[in-house]
Amino acid sequence: MRIQQQVPLAPLTTFRVGGPARYFVEARSEEEVRAAVAEARSRGWPLFVLGAGSNLVISDAGWPGLVLKIALSGISEERDGQRVRFDVAAGEDWDSFVAHAVARDCAGIECLSGIPGTVGGTPVQNVGAYGQEVADTIVSLRALDTSSGKICELQNADSGFAYRTSIFNARERGRYIVLQVTFELIFGGAPRLEYADLKHHFAGRSNPPTLAETRDAVRAIRLSKAMLIVPGDDDCRSAGSFFKNPVLTRAAFDQLHERSPAIPNFPARDGMVKVAAAWLVEQAGFPKGLTRGPVGISRKHALAIVNRGGATAADIINLKNEIQQRLLDTFGVELRPEPVFVGFDQQP
């Protein structure tokens, strides 16, 4: 295990902003992960675990302790009839694993194609898109419990999965480091075509699309919305969707709908209603393509705050705060950010 010092973090993120890590370790084995955590604890260093850096805003001051980059690799599988279990190391690239599963004709995550990040990051946020979320297919995960230093196995039911959340980014934030995730997919299963964008893409076909065609369609749709990482495209210097779609009680939605009857909405769990954050952002006066000096909003998607070049974390936070305040004043709706804020004294 090699500990480096003053390692720039901006190049390790999709936003390309943020200061350096005081100390930095890239762990390629579970033992190195355990050793790095023990070293940080013994020296009193604050610890931050880094995956692909695709859902982060790192402060301009950087991180004052140890940044631990998870680089564990490996995929294994076991088939039982139509059910196929994949054990996937946390450092594996998520989209590459989706491609692997689709190539093996295994359904369950094809609509999650094109999402940047590592496999280990997906259960933390319960990553989801186009009618699927990882909680639908995760059986269990292997994790290091930093409070005890022991490796444990957590089942799906232990993980507290809900819309874009889990115990790993909520009540147990910082306690567990994901080392491996086990998914159960369906061999020969049909793709999920629940969302309007996908239905529209395949409209008029006489035969249902394959998993591979569905994956290609999802990636094409994400590309059209600047939600696919394309080197050289400044619309891709972002953390993807910066805000979550608000989930409202029926009473709160009825009140909002009375004022704004055109707002797109979708049924959510427990009688709640999910409303489109992108629509709210544009209606509040933040159109696609907006530019504020070095920052702005994607030309293709109103939910993506982007680094036009040379932006600081402070620039991003200022635009984020302005959008949130305007929506609160205009619609009475609180927008919650999706990215993790790193190195700030408190969430900005």
Catalytic residue among 59, 140, 241, 298: 241
Which residue type occupies 262?
Answer: A
In the block, residue with structure tokens 């004052």: 64
DSSP states of 283-309 as a string?
Answer: HTT--TT-EETTEEE-SS-TT-EEE-S
Tell me how far apart the alpha carbons of residues 172 and 17 are, in angstroms, rounded to a whole number: 27
241 among known catalytic residues:
yes
Asked whether 146 and 67 are in contact (CB, 8 A), the reply is no
Which residue type occupies 260?
Answer: S
Tell me how far apart the alpha carbons of residues 245 and 266 are, in angstroms, rounded to a whole number: 10
Q: Shortest CA distance to 248 belongs to which of 281, 270, 275?
A: 275
Which residue type occupies 73?
Answer: S
DSSP states of 215-231 as a string?
Answer: HHHHHHHHHHTT-S--T
237 among known catalytic residues:
no
Start-to-end CA distance of the chain, whole Å, equals: 34
Beta-strand relationship, 176-187 and 132-133? unpaired
Asked whether 146 and 55 are in contact (CB, 8 A), the reply is no
26 among known catalytic residues:
no
324 φψ region: left (φ > 0), alpha (ψ -120 to 50), beta (else)? alpha
Catalytic residue among 164, 215, 219, 222: 164
In the block, residue with structure tokens 């450092």: 91
Catalytic residues: 164, 241, 338
